[in-house]
Amino acid sequence: MAKVPSAVVAASGLVGGYGVARWTRKRQLGGVVLAAAGVAAAQQWRASAGGTAAGVLSAAYVAAFAGSHPLAKKVGAWPAVFSVAGAVALASWAVADRRG
């Protein structure tokens, strides 16, 4: 079975978490999706790039989630979510996925 790149897992967590929260109108459920993908991505980051890189990428994941809120006020919700998801995916690929 092929391994899903951590960049895809992280970006999917941000987009999926927002989508679930929006469509179900249950923010907590979106948070579960966001957290589960974040944990899965962090495990992959640690395995492929080490603990320090995993910590930095995890902080970027949380910062992207937090940063999407003020960004959404300027560009709209979905563009903000896709923007931060793309940034986290790019960082994840550059630090962890590019090697393997």
pTM: 0.94
CB within 8 A of 80, min separation 6: which ones?
68, 69, 71, 72, 74
pLDDT of 100 higher than 80: no
Task: Tell me the per-residue pLDDT of 36-76, one tens digit each, with 9 for 90 and over.
Answer: 999 999 999 999 999 999 999 999 999 999 999 999 999 99
Give the per-residue pLDDT at 99: 77
**pLDDT more than 90, % of the chain:** 94
Q: What is the mean pLDDT of the chain?
A: 96
Measured distance CA(39)–CA(22) in Å, rounded: 21
